[in-house]
Amino acid sequence: MDYKAAGAPKGPSKPPRHREHNSFGSSKKPFGSRPDKAELLARMKANVEKNKAAK
């Protein structure tokens, strides 16, 4: 069989039928809104400091 001529498999062609109920941007949000970048950076810096202290 000539595997070179087969090509890559095709991906899904249709969008999903529904959105997740807990995804960011949905109207039914049990988990609140997306955290802002300042909170994320503060958490990342705290983890770096914690890992430096543990070594």
Alpha-carbon dihedral sign for residues 44, 36, 31, 23: negative
Q: What is the pLDDT along the chain (55 residues), one digit of tens a residue?
A: 666 677 777 788 887 777 776 666 666 666 667 778 999 999 999 999 999 988 7
The pLDDT, as a whole number, for residue 47 is 95
Instruction: Determine the pLDDT at residue 28.
Output: 62
Q: Residue ranges of the alpha helices (H) in the chain?
A: 37-54
- State residue 15's pLDDT score: 79
Per-residue CA distances from 22 to 2, 18, 32, 37, 42 (Å): 46, 12, 9, 20, 24
Count CA within 13 A, CB hemisphere, residue 10.
3
